[in-house]
Chains A and B, each alone.
Chain A
Amino acid sequence: MTNTPPLPADGSSTLRPSPSVVARATDVVRVFGSGDTAVRAVAGITASFRRGEMTAIVGPSGSGKSTMMHLLAGLDTPSSGTIELDGQLIARLSDDHLAALRHERMGFVFQSFNLLPGLTALENIRLPESLGARQRSRDDVWERELIARLDIGRVLHRRPHELSGGQQQRIAIARALAHRPAVVFADEPTGNLDLATGDIVLRLLSELVVDSGCGVILVTHDPRAASRADRVLALRDGRVVAELGRANATDISALMLADAHDHSDASLRTP
């Protein structure tokens, strides 16, 4: 890359990514602050995320997992390194491009659901259609299928405050998947749910991932939630310290605990 290449306006890429990769981070660093108080929240992460796969990013608070998610979603800009999303380098995109990219290619599921309180469940599912610069067309067949599989047909005309947490999160999942995004970001989606409900929500999400062919990036510190993922990336102090395939909650929590010990010892030794 000698010269800065012009931005591909139509979403085609100069990078020729492998078609199965929906997001890729290369040597990503994110530093907050400067000088003595600088904090390297993300200290050089290289990772890729594939279609039809749910990848969990786990780690204790302060491990950089949230920052990493924000960077991948284009909500924050890396200090160095590149991020490629659905074949586009997003580091140099303008705010409006990023908004359009989030609108068309990404879906979001939040810990606190973030449904608009004045809209009915169905209106919430359809809300993103009118958010972007372009009116998004609706895929009625897919919407009906989502509603059926998430079992929310009976509550479509209720408002969020009349729904249970699990129902709200299922509405949020329908909202995130309605436009068949390339990637769905789920930020502690089970954080406000009880264990059983959280389990159901994650199972639905992972099934839908396989069927819709998008990738899910699940950020969590809950080993149980992570055990639903196809792949687990463990983060500590802004670095990937371990990578597992599908694993059970015991293994994941053992990994997180062991890693915490190793690492605190290591950090004690370094000046």
Chain B
Amino acid sequence: MIASGGRLAAAITVAASAAYIVVLTSGFALVKAGVLSTPFGEGATAHVVLGVLSIAFLVVALVVATVVVTNAFTLVTATRLRDIALRRLLGASARTERRRILREGARLSLAASGVGLLVGAAGVVGLTIAAAAHREPGQALAITDVVDPSIVLPLIALQGCVVLAAWRGSAAVVSADPATALGAAIVTESGGDGDRRIGWAARLLLATGLILLGLSVLGGALTPLAAFVGVAGGTVLAAGILASATGILPRFLRLIARILPRRGPAAIARATLAEHPARTARAALAITIGVSIVTMFAVASASTNLSLRLMYAGTPLEDSATSVIDDVLGIVGVLVAMIVLIAAVGLATSVALGTRLRGREIAARRVLGQSRRHAVISVVLETVVICATATLAGLLLGAVLGWVGAQSVLGSALPWKMVVPAIPVSLVAVLAAGTLLVAVASAVMPVRFVMTDSPIRAFARA
């Protein structure tokens, strides 16, 4: 059931990403067509801004999709480890087993992309009708305004990302010991010590990303083309963060976990948090990405809005400028919602995986005398700390990236060459509430497991 859940999560993610790509390219094509008919159409800035935005959104979606699909395939692989071990025992090589998962990933990716394409197309038709109704008569909407042939490229990139994700997610196959199929040995997780170190490649990515972002902030004062440097920097930084998440997030977690008392169920929560850095980081990563994206765009648009309003204040262009921005923000809102949806799917799979792997431990602690209530308290505390840490990390990262983005695109257009950073207060409140909600929701499954299962049944199944 969990394995098919993992496949379903992967399929939903790929379909949503494909639909997202369609909506994104067509949406931006529409906005471009709209912008050209305004006084901003002559300026190079508007083109660059839109180009950069659409590329940034593509990159973000591909990164998120890769992370989520990797998680999903990790889950699928974990649940099949025994089957795989049996086939290995009967003579299958680890390579064939991994290829089998890769083929499955590719098939799933193609099928889900097809579905996503249809859903996205339906969305675009709706969008076009809405846009046409919005237009003044006489301004016909050409088909080339809506359909952009370059859409093929991101769709191909998506397939590549899914195959990559399937490959990384199936890494556990290599560790499937044929002996586990004999039933005597127990499938255990390897110790996570190796995961805690941050590799030099990740360090290099982080440093390069930060340097590029710094350059784009400075360059933003000169030309909007600095935004391309910014996107590159953001992508490299994101790759660095993904590569080092199992090293960085646990450190952050340990810091936050210090607020937990050292006794009772909180002590157990502390111990389990420190115990599986890779697993915890995976669960936190989905939230961190979701929160940082929301924050990034909220901060970017708030900062842009504030700066433009300050710049055009009192001129007749004030309304026109903000209306273009509102158009863009409308589409951005839809896109962000889709990314958050994908990230939520990722969180759900991480939690399912965690519960499955944790079931045995929870059962062991219950047998050793932990009461139900305490088991529930420690599970809930664990999830709350993970969610709070992930949200905080996402907020910080997103705020910085958002401001850098706005600065690199708009800095040069402003008389004072610097975008004024603005953080919407309501955002922080919404995110705090959202985090709490997510924490509670993701604790539901483990808690139900604790409440309904006798420790012995849990042992038998785990």
Contact = CB atoms under 8 A, between A and B. Distances in A.
A114 B364 contact: yes
A118 B382 CA distance: 15
Contacts of B271: 116, 118-119, 123, 127
Interface string B348-380: 000000000000110011111111111000000
A76 interface: yes
Contacts of A116: 271-272, 275, 361, 364
Contacts of B4: none
A112 B187 CA distance: 10
B263 interface: yes
A108 interface: yes
Contact of A75 (B276, B370, B456): B456
A127 B190 CA distance: 21
Interface in A112-150: 112, 114, 116-119, 123, 127-128, 130-133, 135
Interface string A181-204: 000000000011000000000000
B274 interface: yes
* Most A C-beta atoms less than 10 A away, residue of B188, B276, B371, B373: B371
Given A117-B189, A132-B371, A192 B184 contact: yes
Contact of B372 (A75, A96, A123): A96
Contacts of B370: 99, 103, 131-132
Contacts of B366: 99
B6 interface: no
B264 A130 contact: yes
Contact of B367 (A75, A112, A130, A159): A75
B320 interface: no
Contacts of A108: 367-368
Contacts of A95: 371-372
Given A75-B367, A95-B372, A161-B190, A130 B455 contact: no
A70 interface: yes
Contact of A159 (B185, B191, B360, B372): B191
Given A117-B188, A161-B188, A106 B369 contact: yes
Interface residues of A, number: 35
A269 B23 CA distance: 74
Highest count of chain B CB atoms <10 Å: which of A75, A95, A118, A175:
A118
Nearest to B365: A131
Contacts of A73: 367
B372 A76 contact: no
14 contacts: A73-B367, A75-B456, A96-B373, A99-B371, A104-B369, A117-B189, A127-B368, A130-B264, A130-B267, A131-B368, A131-B374, A132-B370, A135-B263, A161-B191
A96 B371 contact: yes
Interface in A69-92: 70, 73, 75-76
Given A75-B454, A130-B267, A192-B185, A102 B369 contact: yes
Contact of A128 (B191, B264, B369): B369
A130 B263 contact: yes
A117 B184 CA distance: 19
B102 interface: no
A192 B184 CA distance: 7
Contacts of B124: none
A100 interface: yes
A58 to B, nearest CB: 18
B361 A76 contact: no
Nearest to B275: A118
A133 B191 contact: no
B184 A102 contact: no
Contacts of B193: 159
Contacts of A119: 271, 275
B152 interface: no
A132 B370 CA distance: 5
Most buried by A among B189, B275, B368, B372: B368
Interface in B245-293: 263-264, 267-268, 271-272, 274-276
B157 interface: no
Contacts of A104: 369
B456 A76 contact: yes
B461 to A, nearest CB: 14
Contact of A100 (B191, B361, B369): B369
